[in-house]
Amino acid sequence: MHTGEILSRVTNDITRIQNVVTNMIPNLIRESLTIVALTGYVIYESPKLAFYFLIIMPLALYPLSILAKKMKKYSKLSQESTSDMTSRLGEIFSNIEVIKANSSQELEGEKFAKENQNVFKYLLKQVKVNALTSPIMEILGSVAIGLVIYIGGSEVIEGRMTVGAFFAFATALFMLYTPIKRISSLYNQAQDAIVANERMFELLNTKPTIISGKIELNEQIKHISIMHASLNYGNKIALNDVSAGADHGESIALVGDSDAGKSSLVNLLVRFYDPNEGEIIINDKYNIKDLTLKSLHQKVAYVTQRIYIFNGTIAQNIAYGQEFDEQKVIEALEKAHALEFIKNLDDGINTMLTENGNNLSGGQRQRVALARAIYKKPDILILDEATSALDNKSEALIQKALEALKSEMITITVAHRLSTIENSDAILVFKEGQIICRGQHIDLINECEEYQKLAKIFSN
């Protein structure tokens, strides 16, 4: 689902439900009580006259139900178009740099205007349908009252009813008209909330495909083995029978063309996906599917090319999801070679980061993300092209820092430069979802054709 769609459901749709519920419940109670009391009185006063009235009023149900159906249709369209508009806005704001660089503001503006117009169109239709309830009820009400006056009048003239009783009856009947009209309008408006409710529950009833296991992982991860893992995204095969293992203190590098399946493999370790076939075993006894996600994620740190920065200070970003310890924050920043530039900021580690960390450079953001991973003191550190935005010098420094940490964890690096992995304990060469060679740099450079190719590209 598009982010904007979800945002719209939890904000706009909920507001629609809220509006109807807050207005409707008190009104519904009041109007129903009035209707019950007045109907009782009308019947008591003259059952015969009440009879005419009580057969005409239900006739109103038919046109009202047609209106309600229409209302439901337009509510749905209006909610969907509001979602589309929110999605479009989200897209515009998150792609603002591309839009400006292409001077496509006008184009985007036009696209937005179209969505906006849609929203307006359906809201207007909703208003129209709702307004139609009023004349329908008006006509039926007049017919009912006319009939009652005619019949009641005859009764009075013929002496079967007193003038007083007739007026009491007629007054109660007039008074009945307003609450009935209000309730029918409420019923119509409620359609909007009913549709919003359906859309909301569609979201709430969505079950995650990744389900947390029950076992708490309380021990250090000493060994991880990936056994015959395959992963498909729909029809697309991303990993095909991949097996690999790593011990505490080892560093494993994944290399290969783009789209070869490297990120897919690390996605399995963080359980963004579960393998379609095969399994991943920790310490020779736990299938990672059986572990609670929380305890697994406590021990696995994951850094990607895409950097996630939260609204908050640098320190808060580093200690994200963990207990805060300033000393540890500084240590982590030092290891990630970020302390130097942060010291030069006015507020140091308490500098507020703006949305997406836009007040930092790409390389600085990447170092903050690295420091966040290091802060966790993970058992498995996964770096998926995590140093791609760094210059050679900073990368080499971080490489050194990681080497110092190496003995404390399993390091899995998806590499984009050969220099970063030459010292790895094992290099896995990926091609089209499979590992086609594995070994250390010296062996691979002599034996593995694919690796030689990569080495040539890397060195250029």
Ligand X SMILES: Nc1ncnc2c1ncn2[C@@H]1O[C@H](COP(=O)(O)OP(=O)(O)O)[C@@H](O)[C@H]1O
Residues that bind ligand X (CB under 6 A): 233, 236, 238, 256, 258-264
Binding partner of residue 85 among ligand X, Mg ion, none, CB under 5 to 8 Å per kind? Answer: none
The least distance separating ligand X from the CB of residue 406, rounded to whole angstroms, comes to 23
Choices 78-86, 205-213, 263-271, 398-406; region in contact with Mg ion by CB under 5 A:
263-271
Nearest to 319 by CA among 332, 335, 306: 332
Binding partner of residue 4 among Mg ion, ligand X, none, CB under 5 to 8 Å per kind? Answer: none
Question: Smaller CB distance to ligand X: residue 254 or 342?
Answer: 254
Choices 119-127, 138-146, 164-172, 258-266; region in contact with Mg ion by CB under 5 A:
258-266
Binding partner of residue 238 among ligand X, Mg ion, none, CB under 5 to 8 Å per kind? Answer: ligand X
Choices 18-26, 35-43, 71-79, 260-268; region in contact with Mg ion by CB under 5 A:
260-268
Binding partner of residue 179 among ligand X, Mg ion, none, CB under 5 to 8 Å per kind? Answer: none
Binding partner of residue 46 among ligand X, Mg ion, none, CB under 5 to 8 Å per kind? Answer: none
Binding partner of residue 378 among ligand X, Mg ion, none, CB under 5 to 8 Å per kind? Answer: none
Question: Smaller CB distance to ligand X: residue 68 or 382?
Answer: 382
Binding partner of residue 394 among ligand X, Mg ion, none, CB under 5 to 8 Å per kind? Answer: none
3-state helix, strand, coil in the chain (%, to 5): 65, 15, 20
Task: Please check whether residue 192 is in contact with residue 70, taking contact to mean a CB–CB distance below 8 angstroms.
Answer: no
Binding partner of residue 196 among Mg ion, ligand X, none, CB under 5 to 8 Å per kind? Answer: none
Rg (CA), the chain: 34
Question: Smaller CB distance to ligand X: residue 83 or 263?
Answer: 263
The least distance separating ligand X from the CB of residue 206, rounded to whole angstroms, comes to 17
In 317-445, DSSP assigns E strands to 352-353, 380-384, 410-414, 426-431, 434-439
Count interface residues toward Mg ion (CB under 5 A): 1
Phi, psi of 229 (to 5 degrees): -85, 135
Give yes or no for residue 81 binding Mg ion (CB under 5 A). no
The least distance separating Mg ion from the CB of residue 386, rounded to whole angstroms, comes to 11
Task: Please check whether residue 312 is in contact with residue 352, taking contact to mean a CB–CB distance below 8 angstroms.
Answer: yes
Q: How far is it, in rounded angstroms, from Cα 254 to Cα 430?
A: 7
Q: Which of 81, 126, 263, 394 binds Mg ion (CB under 5 A)?
A: 263
Question: Smaller CB distance to Mg ion: residue 191 or 267?
Answer: 267
Structure tokens belonging to residue 14: 């909920």
The least distance separating ligand X from the CB of residue 432, rounded to whole angstroms, comes to 9
Question: Smaller CB distance to ligand X: residue 164 or 234?
Answer: 234
Q: How far is it, in rounded angstroms, from Cα 8 to Cα 2?
A: 10
Choices 64-72, 83-91, 262-270, 431-439; region in contact with Mg ion by CB under 5 A:
262-270
Binding partner of residue 233 among Mg ion, ligand X, none, CB under 5 to 8 Å per kind? Answer: ligand X
Question: Smaller CB distance to ligand X: residue 161 or 300?
Answer: 300
Q: How far is it, in rounded angstroms, from Cα 172 to Cα 42?
A: 6
Q: How far is it, in rounded angstroms, from Cα 444 to Cα 425?
A: 12
The least distance separating ligand X from the CB of residue 3, rounded to whole angstroms, comes to 15
Chain residues 325-384 in contact with Mg ion, contact rule CB under 5 A? none
Question: Smaller CB distance to ligand X: residue 260 or 444?
Answer: 260
Question: Smaller CB distance to ligand X: residue 401 or 436?
Answer: 436
* Interacting residues of 256 by C-beta distance below 8 A, sequence separation 6+: 262, 429, 430, 431, 450, 454
The least distance separating ligand X from the CB of residue 380, rounded to whole angstroms, comes to 18
Residues pairing with 381 in the sheet: 301, 411
Residues pairing with 250 in the sheet: none
In the three-class reduction of DSSP (H, G, I as helix; E, B as strand; rest coil), residue 284 is classed as coil
Binding partner of residue 236 among Mg ion, ligand X, none, CB under 5 to 8 Å per kind? Answer: ligand X
* Interacting residues of 33 by C-beta distance below 8 A, sequence separation 6+: none
Report CA-CA distances (Å) from 375 to 19, 36, 46, 272, 372. 46, 67, 83, 22, 5
Question: Smaller CB distance to ligand X: residue 19 or 240?
Answer: 240
Which residue's entry shows tokens 């991973």? 373
In 161-234, DSSP assigns E strands to 223-233
Phi-psi region of 261 (alpha: psi -120 to 50; beta: other; left: phi over 0): left
* Interacting residues of 391 by C-beta distance below 8 A, sequence separation 6+: 363
Task: Please check whether residue 248 is in contact with residue 206, taking contact to mean a CB–CB distance below 8 angstroms.
Answer: no
The least distance separating Mg ion from the CB of residue 305, rounded to whole angstroms, comes to 8
Residues that bind Mg ion (CB under 5 A): 263
